[in-house]
Amino acid sequence: MWLEGVDMGGQGRMILYPHRVLEVGLKGIKAETQKRLDEVNIAHDPEAYRKTLFWRAVIMYSDAAIAFAHRYAEKARELAKRESDVQRKADLERIAEVCQWVPENPARTFHEALQTAWFAFLLAGLDDDADAFGLGRVDQFLYPYYKRDLEEGRLTQEEAQELLDLFWIKFNEAHKARPESLPPGKDSHGKIGKAGDPLFNHMTIGGITADRQDATNDLTYMILAAREHIFPLPYPNLSLRVHPQTPKRLLMRALQVTAKCGGLPQYCGDSGIIKSLLSRGISLEDARDYTAHGCSIFSAPGLYGRWHVTFPNITKPLELALNNGVDRLTGARIGLPTGDPTTFSFEDLFHAFTKQLDYMLELSSQEVAVTQKVMEEKFPLVFTSIFVPDCLEKGRDITAGGARYEWGNAMAGMGAITAGDSLAAIKKLVFDEKRVTMSELLEALDADFQGKEELHQLLLNAPKYGNDDDYADSIVKRVCDTFCREAQKYPTPKGKMEPEFHSVTLSVALGFHTAASPDGRRACKPLNHDMSPTAGCDRSGPSAMLKSASKIDQSATVTSSLLMTADPSIVSRERDLEKFASLLWTYFNVLDGTNVQLNFLSTETLRDAQLHPEKYPNLVVRVAGFNALFVELSKPVQDYIIERTCHSV
């Protein structure tokens, strides 16, 4: 019914804010912490015991991190000594100097700032084998260092570009061992759900400043160039924040890079995302400073992160409502007895679906609550907490509530569109037009449409979300609204569960466990992705697809991703690219859309790559909220990507 986010070890899924460490160094952090230790008094502060433990740990971790960096320095010095090439020797000596200085001391130069950020990422990963970190708004926090170096003649733009390129390459070195196969019943969702073995690290550029000005600077463009230079290396993830003052030149440049570099950057809309964060109690200043992490999750400074994500299968409750609580694939009773569907009106059916959904969400939030408590007791994240605003001040690590904003849970609904399209098909064919009876439909679902081809065709040709057709869209919206409402009902130790529709290939994994659905999807085939239309069902062009998506109340969620595949010819000419840029601009700034992921690839290319992998060793695709080399993906994931509609001109 749902899949779990933390069962493969590691919490992660948060933004590391290196600002403090850049400013004062770990030396400064230690000094502040020591002062707090000196001042805390258990006679006045009942929390003092716990705080003391945390602060002492911070000092120990900081020392360890400094020692870790010094080992890099030592190694570089040693290599320099043996090096005969003059240039390389000088480089190594510089590396040694930088690693000797940061993260212990405040960063003084662009190079040192980059090195500090890299260490932050590396060490946080070591904290508990986590993934999906964001390093925040890199073009913003690095800019003062870049500018000063340039002004003071320490650095040329070319040198800065090279450092950025190298920094980008580094993110492709880190890897994580994931289980090949999970216990029975889970298949290998690690492999299929996170196909291509991504680490989901994420950088964000563009957007607005705290006083609502356009934040674009030289580094914004240079980071796009870095992305281009390291292609086809797939990581890290990159998001461009779009707002009404985003320079057209920037958006067009970014789209060129996206088209050329396998779907990166992806795009996020400031308007919709900031609205969503504000409605969740984030301050205006923090909301305007939001960034992406993981595949496409949005966080503000001081937000716990989203380490605990469950991925409920929203299609499954409909299956259960249509089978009185019994799993159609296994025959096991896993849901509630909601009655005989042949006696249902459409409203009865929707009601039964809601009950099944609610039951599933309740179960999954129980699991979340237990896991959170275990994590807090057994796996405090001391080093990571240094990078999350307010933990040090409060004297608590993030798992114990140190972050400024106390919510760390998400329910990432999968298959909402499949469920919505299914309900639309039932409403149309069974209730409105009465072309099909409920029993005929159920029989066809039992048979996985074998021998029921005619009915299958009717279902496939019923109205589908993604075409700006209110018939299907309004039902999909109702499903999404219901999910968002039900998800937020459950308190957990770390705040409410927040709904989202974000993008990983778990829709393929969850599809394995889902019987045939009334939208015409066969048993065990993938569910729809995030908020994207069911593969191949958006047939009315990109503007219609975006309009459909905009009908869903995206700010009720914390992430609503939409994946669009378009033929490269749609942006091949400058004037067409400009039109595509205004299409996206409108989605974000007029329709309050929150996240778009793009693939500019023709279906023929993908088919050919599947047949002749040797010809396409470097074909990078946007799988979901992450990239991968197409030829390294498993066949079901490849098929799924191929089946998506390719919008063309």
Which residue's CB is nearer to another protein, number 188 or number 586? 586
Q: What does the block give as tokens for 513?
A: 């466990």
Which residue's CB is nearer to another protein, number 58 or number 570? 570
What's 614's DSSP letter? G
Which residue's CB is nearer to another protein, number 546 or number 609? 546
Residues 6+ away with beta carbon under 8 Å from 71: none
Q: What does the block give as tokens for 324?
A: 């009185």
The closest of 197, 141, 201, 139 to 169, measured between CA atoms, is 201
C-alpha Rg value of the chain to the nearest Å = 25
CB of 48 to another protein, least distance (A): 57
What's 182's DSSP letter? P
Max CA distance (Å), the chain = 84
CB of 253 to another protein, least distance (A): 18
d(C-alpha 404, C-alpha 402), whole Å: 7
What's 265's DSSP letter? S
CB of 648 to another protein, least distance (A): 10
In angstroms, what CA-CA distances link 438 with 451, 452, 472?
Answer: 17, 14, 19
φ/ψ of 11, rounded to 5, equals -95, -75
Which residue's CB is nearer to another protein, number 579 or number 612? 579
CB of 5 to another protein, least distance (A): 36
d(C-alpha 416, C-alpha 529), whole Å: 9
CB of 535 to another protein, least distance (A): 18
Which residue's CB is nearer to another protein, number 262 or number 542? 542
Residues 6+ away with beta carbon under 8 Å from 300: 277, 282, 286, 287, 289, 290, 405
- For binding to another protein (CB under 8 A), which residues are involved? 453-455, 457-458, 461, 468, 540-544, 547, 570, 573, 576, 579, 582-583, 585-586, 589-591, 647, 649
Tally Cβ neighbours within 10 Å of residue 203.
27
CB of 547 to another protein, least distance (A): 6
Work out the angle between the directed axes of helices 143-151 and 218-230 (0-180°, nearest 10): 100
Which residue's CB is nearer to another protein, number 219 or number 441? 441
In the beta sheet, which residues pair with residue 208?
Answer: 214
d(C-alpha 390, C-alpha 189), whole Å: 35
CB of 429 to another protein, least distance (A): 11
Residues 6+ away with beta carbon under 8 Å from 90: none
Which residue's CB is nearer to another protein, number 105 or number 586? 586
The torsion region of residue 14 among left (phi > 0), alpha (psi -120 to 50) and beta comes to: beta
CB of 193 to another protein, least distance (A): 32
Can you say how many angstroms the Cα of residue 470 is from the centroid of all Cα atoms in its chain? Answer: 28
In angstroms, what CA-CA distances link 100 with 86, 92, 164?
Answer: 21, 12, 20
Which residue's CB is nearer to another protein, number 291 or number 550? 550
Which residue's CB is nearer to another protein, number 163 or number 535? 535
The closest of 68, 63, 89 to 77, measured between CA atoms, is 89
d(C-alpha 541, C-alpha 645), whole Å: 9
Which residue's CB is nearer to another protein, number 338 or number 467? 467
SS3 312: strand
CB of 589 to another protein, least distance (A): 8
In angstroms, what CA-CA distances link 298 with 84, 85, 410, 495?
Answer: 48, 45, 11, 17
CB of 581 to another protein, least distance (A): 9
CB of 575 to another protein, least distance (A): 8
Which residue's CB is nearer to another protein, number 283 or number 540? 540
d(C-alpha 206, C-alpha 363), whole Å: 40
What torsion, rounded to 10 degrees, do the Cα atoms 271, 254, 586, 554 define? -40
Which residue's CB is nearer to another protein, number 162 or number 454? 454
For 23, the enclosing helix (H) or strand (E) is helix 19-39
- Cβ proximity of 77 and 93 under 8 Å: yes
In angstroms, what CA-CA distances link 648 with 565, 566, 601, 602?
Answer: 9, 6, 10, 9
Which residue's CB is nearer to another protein, number 100 or number 256? 256
Which residue's CB is nearer to another protein, number 381 or number 544? 544
